[in-house]
Amino acid sequence: MPEFTPIAQDPSRPVHVPVLLREVLQNLQLGPGLVVVDGTVGAAGHSRQIAGRIAPSGTLIGLDRDARMLEIAAHQLSAFPTHLHQASYAELPRVLAGLHIPAVDRILLDLGLSSDQLADESRGFSFSAAGPLDLRFDTRQGEPASDLLARLDEHELAELLERFGEESDSRRIARNIVAWRQRSPILTARDLADAVASTGRRGKSTDRGGRSHDDRHPATRVFQALRIAVNQELQQLETFLGGVLYDCLKPGGIAAIISFHSLEDRLVKQAFREPNSWQLLSPKPIAASPAEQRFNPRSRTARLRVAKRL
């Protein structure tokens, strides 16, 4: 039985394509009987393959903050005995305690958002969405992005865009957004995308880690910054890397983390650098092959880091 409250929708046709699937499966060194946590189960693209490899005696525990994604995951994983929880991966100790499992063999995080969330017009994740600009993974917690955007003054907004979006043009964009919202409120994703596009901001850019981003829309970094802020994404990752991951893995257990921008990747890299806690299994971050990048453009900015807990 899934341990969350399901929301009615069609969960049988997820659109998300898992990134770095082959690399994740290889590096996790899976086998029958292992206890594995997928801390960002999403549409279960990775988890389905993991579940098949640890069957019949293994245990899969899937977490997601988004009830709709858990509905899809439950459908995709119905052939396997699985524990699904609506929780942040930062809350893993509480979830494991509830299952009377002291520590696990493998933990996977695939950060960010899924294509199914992007495709859901009611969430505000895609630039063209006419629904409310919400951007929360768990709509029971925190405030929608439209409220945050209405509340921040120009200076605070510029700081947020710079800090969480690594947006080089943050001051000009903030000024334009504030001018726009004085004329009409920014309530939908489309309103925000139009407000940012009105600044004439260029689309293509590189983050501080030197990664070229698929910024085809000029508002890419603005949406990223707001999403990170309303979901407190970096705090969640810091809490997880600051002790949760180590404490929840058995000695010899393996952690695999996929990040999509340098703010996240930097935190993962620093955490795995601790020599008394981790042995790096991927000395360099693993990127998607050219073939995968062509087939699945989302994979272009993905970086996988893998480490063994000492």
Contact positions toward ligand SAM, by CB under 6 A? 16, 18, 39-40, 42-46, 63-66, 69, 88-90, 110, 112-114, 137, 236
Which residue's CB is nearer to ligand SAM, number 28 or number 63?
Answer: 63
- Residue 64 tokens, joined: 């997601």
Q: Which of 243, 246, 254 is CA-nearest to residue 281?
A: 254
Rounded to a whole number of angstroms, the minimum distance from the CB of residue 247 to ligand SAM is: 17
Which residue's CB is nearer to ligand SAM, number 173 or number 228?
Answer: 228
Which residue's CB is nearer to ligand SAM, number 66 or number 162?
Answer: 66
Rounded to a whole number of angstroms, the minimum distance from the CB of residue 43 to ligand SAM is: 4
Query: What is the DSSP track for the chain?
Result: --BS----S--S------TTHHHHHHHHT--TT-EEEETT-TT-HHHHHHHHHHTTT-EEEEEES-HHHHHHHHHHTTTS-EEEEES-GGGHHHHHHHTT---EEEEEEE-S--HHHHH-TTT--STT--SB----SSTTSS--HHHHHHH--HHHHHHHHHHHH--TTHHHHHHHHHHHHHHS---BHHHHHHHHHTTT--S-EE-TTSPEE---STTHHHHHHHHHHHHTHHHHHHHIIIIIHHHHEEEEEEEEEEESSHHHHHHHHHHHT-TTTEEES-SS-EE--HHHHHH-GGGGG-EEEEEEE-
Rounded to a whole number of angstroms, the minimum distance from the CB of residue 88 to ligand SAM is: 4
Which residue's CB is nearer to ligand SAM, number 141 or number 279?
Answer: 141
Which residue's CB is nearer to ligand SAM, number 133 or number 158?
Answer: 133
Which residue's CB is nearer to ligand SAM, number 70 or number 174?
Answer: 70
Rounded to a whole number of angstroms, the minimum distance from the CB of residue 37 to ligand SAM is: 11
Which residue's CB is nearer to ligand SAM, number 177 or number 228?
Answer: 228
Rounded to a whole number of angstroms, the minimum distance from the CB of residue 231 to ligand SAM is: 6
Rounded to a whole number of angstroms, the minimum distance from the CB of residue 64 to ligand SAM is: 4
Rounded to a whole number of angstroms, the minimum distance from the CB of residue 228 to ligand SAM is: 10
